[in-house]
Amino acid sequence: MDRRLKPMRTATFVVLGAALITSAPWLGWWPLLPMATAVAGFGLAGRFIDRLRHPEYAAAGAWVLAQVTIAISIALSGGAASPAVGWLAIPVVTLSARFDRRVVAAGLLLTTLLMLGVTVGARSGDVAANPALAIAPLALLAAIALLSTALMTSDVEHRSKSVLDPLTGMLNRASLDARVAELRQQAELTGEPVGIVVGDIDHFKPVNDEHGHTVGDAVLVDVAAAMRTQLRAFDLAYRIGGEEFLVLLPGARLADAAELAERLRGAVEAAPAADGLRVTMSFGVTCSDAGEFDYAEVFAAADRALYAAKRAGRNRVHVSGDLQDLGRAAA
């Protein structure tokens, strides 16, 4: 989502910057400084976001910085009397597209407080004489938040039905092809590799045969939950078969992918499983060449590494590349 928002966010900053420059004879030049700070903040977050364990924190921090700098611009250009008061509602449009409802509520509360601060707080006399100076932008803020949340909720529900595995909540095969095409283009543009991890639950067939498919389904749900604890927001996890999972890691080197696979293996082994069963997974890891991503070729290498891990005793990570086997044999 952030990649989709980035060009539109840049265009929005250009529009707002042009408006401030054009209005400078009346508003002054100072509002441009906080606006430039917001642009720098998003640029910095965008540079490092793919390398962070929790990229959502960087995205949220850049969003908060943007709101604060917009508020400062409004305060410098007249407070409640500024024609830019409504601009605080613009970033609210993106909240529902990137965060859950708790973060949306927190962002809306922050924006409301900032809006009150630059109207009632900064120019209370103007607002006392004309309450519409505060009421109108607050109503605009509420309307945009309600409409954008409703639209995004509907969109997410419809997309989820088509791209998510209904049992585990992970992405399904139907969503894989489009993402592979995007990653191929991304690799060509950025010159970075794409890591791939393929995992398979060990001895899953006996679980279904001896304990029934209900327990088997519960094991799949538990395994997916354990894997999620180790994944970053932009790591792409898929259920591609009955007990087989795949993780795509944009920008990851071979060592990074192998390290994640080992964390996934450990998390699954340590997590409590349904019916008291001990569940383990084997993983195969590889990585594309920098700037290239041939999914069929990379997947085949990871799949061969997975079967090498199975042959070596299961409950281990096997790497197709320069790294040695990282796992340990199952007890």
Give the active site residues: 243
Q: How far is CA 177 from CA 50, 174, 180, in A?
A: 21, 7, 5
Taken in order 23, 25, 27, 33, the sign of the CA dihedral is positive
Task: State the Cα–Cα distance between residues 304 and 119, nearest whole angstrom.
Answer: 63
| In contact, 202 and 330? CB cutoff 8 Å | yes
Classify burial at 178, counting beta carbons within 10 Å of its beta carbon; exposed 0-12, middle 13-18, buried 19 or more.
exposed
Concatenating the DSSP letter of every residue in 67-103 gives HHHHHHHHHHTTGGG-TTGGGGGTTHHHHHHHS-HHH
The first and second tokens of residue 160, run together, are 């989820």
- Class of residue 255 by CB neighbours under 10 A (exposed 0-12, middle 13-18, buried 19+): middle
Give the Cα separation of 296 and 304 in Å (integer). 12
Do β-strands 317-319 and 244-250 pair in parallel, antiparallel, or remain unpaired?
unpaired
Q: How many C-beta atoms surround the C-beta of residue 257 within 10 A?
A: 27
